[in-house]
Chains A and B, each alone.
Chain A
Amino acid sequence: MAETTAHHIPKPDREPPGSYVGVRGWIMQNLLSSPLNVFMTLLGIVFLWYSVPPLLNWLIFNATISGDTRDNCIGTGGACWVFVKIRFNQFMYGFYPSEEQWRINLTFAVLFIGMLPLMFWDSKLFRGFRYKRELAVFLLFIFPFLAGFMFYGGVFGMPVVETSQWGGLFLTLIIAITGIVASLPLGVLLALGRRSNMPVIKMLCIGFIELVRAVPLITVLFMASVMIPLFLPEGVNFNKLVRALIAVALFSAAYSAETIRGGLQSIPKGQYEAAASMGLSYWKMMGLVVMPQALKAVIPGIVSGFIGLFKDTTLVLIIGLFDVLNIVRAASQDPKWFGLAVEGYAFTAILFFVFCFGMSQYSIFLEKKLHTGH
């Protein structure tokens, strides 16, 4: 028998055909791949042609920003940003006295700088920073009180600024950040409670979640503002802003809880068993093994919730708080600026877009960073 072994020579790799790569490939595949696609592409071009130039003309090219009354804007056919420019300080800070506004600026600057190493923990700049845990503890548990003192005053010679004077973007951010920060831990606890084996805890959590989710936020705010004082004893005055903050936090916690519960359900039983078989207690198992995975799985949902919450803060106008939208609305009713509501709302829309888009981009960044498998 002849001993022959066939020697296999592997085929060399070839470049893919031109219509699959490069700019041409992208256009062919994404814009012109079928008659319907060609039609949709043309339709899109026509739509952009008729919508973008007029919009840019109004927003930028024909707009007015110099001057300080609405008379500067007459007959231009563009936006009158003079209104926004003159009222800008009020849109940002509400009725907070201008000589005290440094307190807000400083506090938010500290918050912003403090959050950077935590948000971008993995970047070159912050990788060597060793005190991330301490920083997180400080920001979560100590900073809120410091911020409260800074904003309200009455200590270290800083004059008191009543919360009724707080407003604008400043107030919007306070409500949104409080809601976001409080809703995550509360949501985690509620989600765990709802899956608990202890019937009383389980029923309480289900009851709370379902009740809050069944009621519109506007009702919760209204109740917090009008109903709660009825139940409180005479003379006990509970700050309106604090009530709104609590209402927003509890409201968003109920939604976060359901999102997080979805994440918990996606964790296979084997993860619990592996953790338990190594001797991890319930809280360690949840904190070290289950929750990190569950939260990671629901980042898009959680951030959607935060974005919704951020926009829902505008509902505080129902209880007479002047968040940025409400203050813009009020300003545009000023006879001096009559007829310029569109500019005010356009400005607010851009402002909200910046924050919400920022959150959404960060969530995408976070998902990529935390992706650990194939």
Chain B
Amino acid sequence: MSEQFEAPQTTSQVASSITNEVVIQMLDVNKWYGRFHVLKDINLTVMRGERIVVCGPSGSGKSTLIRCINRLEEHQEGDIIVDGVTLNDDIRNLDAIRQEVGMVFQSFNLFPHLTVLQNCTLAPIWVKKMPKGEAEEIAMKFLTRVRIPEQADKYPGQLSGGQQQRVAIARSLCMNPNVMLFDEPTSALDPEMISEVLDTMVDLAAEGMTMIVVTHEMGFANKVADRVIFMDRGEIVEQAPPQEFFNNPKSDRTKLFLSQILSH
């Protein structure tokens, strides 16, 4: 029996910027929380400029997967290589990778005691040792790019959810990362604010940023993803370009998942 899915509407496909240079490599990665096997034999290669959307049921290990890439979580088996640097206990490697990889969280995680501008300049000044003036200039550039330069002197608590998430994106970009990780960046937003954040991410994709995005926004996946990855119970079950993924899912678990999120 073959089911037909109504693939999400596409407006305009963002041109692919994929190159043939490997930027992230996960080789047979396994991770446990206590005795719970949360990631199972993960193999994933990400090219520079590639945009990957990760989806799957809640608890399937999507967050854990991307959090292993900047070592917010430690894996126990296998290798993770980011930009040629292997993630291990060496703290210098860790510092190097965290400066290369930006991360945007579901709950924004802006620093509430600092202004928007200070949020954006904190890491450039203290990690990259950038002079304050230069850091502020760069911060204003990215705040302009996410279309909220006028909020620079406000505190995060004074902004809407959508604005906060755009600040969080600008804050990550200020470190000039090679890779951006997004963990359900729109899940905590009121519906009317989702598009302003997605638009910002589409812009970023159009500039050729390497992105791994955990999201259930299938419209976004269809528009920008080079590849959609479906995870279930700690495994990568299926990966394919969006057209193929939505129109021709191979595994029944993918089909079930798609039917659940696409037909409400």
Contacts and interface: CB of A to CB of B under 8 A. Distances in A.
A372 B99 CA distance: 28
Contact of B123 (A268, A270, A279, A296): A279
Q: Which of B70, B156, B168 has the most CB of A within 10 A?
A: B70
Contacts of B172: 278
Contact of A277 (B103, B122, B157): B103
Nearest to B101: A277
Nearest to A281: B95
Nearest to B171: A278
A293 interface: yes
Contacts of B158: 373-374
Nearest to A372: B155
Contacts of A296: 113
Contacts of B95: 279, 281
B175 interface: yes
B195 interface: no
Nearest to A282: B91
Contacts of A278: 98-99, 102, 122-123, 127, 171-172, 175
DSSP class of A's interface residues: helix, strand, loop or mixed? Answer: helix
A280 B95 CA distance: 8
Nearest to A297: B113
Interface in A270-312: 270-271, 273-281, 284, 288-289, 292-293, 296
Contact of B157 (A276, A289, A372): A372
Nearest to A285: B126
A45 interface: no
A292 B111 CA distance: 10
A277 B72 contact: yes
A370 interface: yes
Interface string B115-148: 0000000110011000000000000000000000
B111 A274 contact: yes
Contacts of A279: 95, 98-99, 123, 127, 175
A373 B98 contact: no
Given A373-B157, A373-B158, A277 B112 contact: no
Contact of B126 (A268, A284, A292, A293): A284
A280 B171 CA distance: 13
A293 B114 CA distance: 10
Given A270-B107, A273-B105, A280-B126, A293 B112 contact: yes
A274 B98 CA distance: 11
Contact of A288 (B70, B103, B122): B122
B109 interface: yes
B155 A276 contact: no
Contacts of A273: 72, 103, 105, 109
Contacts of B70: 277
Contact of B112 (A275, A280, A373): A373
Contact of B111 (A271, A276, A281, A284): A271
Interface in A118-167: none
A288 B123 CA distance: 10
Contacts of A281: 95
A277 B111 contact: no
Nearest to B72: A273
Contacts of A370: 113
A309 to B, nearest CB: 26
B131 to A, nearest CB: 17
A280 B110 CA distance: 14
Given A279-B98, A280-B126, A288-B122, A372 B113 contact: yes
Contacts of B113: 292-293, 296, 370, 372
B158 to A, nearest CB: 7
Contacts of A372: 112-113, 155-157
Contact of B98 (A270, A277, A288, A289): A277
A373 B155 contact: yes
A278 B112 CA distance: 16
A268 B111 CA distance: 11
A372 B111 CA distance: 11
A283 to B, nearest CB: 10
A270 to B, nearest CB: 4
A268 B113 CA distance: 13
Contacts of A276: 72, 98
Given A276-B98, A293-B113, A373-B112, A288 B126 contact: yes
A296 B112 CA distance: 11
19 contacts: A270-B105, A270-B109, A273-B105, A273-B109, A274-B168, A277-B98, A277-B102, A278-B98, A278-B175, A279-B95, A279-B127, A279-B175, A280-B122, A293-B113, A296-B113, A372-B112, A372-B155, A372-B156, A374-B157
Question: 8 closest Cβ contacts across the A-B interface?
Answer: A373-B157, A274-B109, A278-B123, A270-B109, A279-B98, A372-B155, A277-B103, A279-B127
Given A280-B123, A281-B95, 5 more contacts: A270-B105, A273-B105, A275-B111, A372-B157, A373-B112
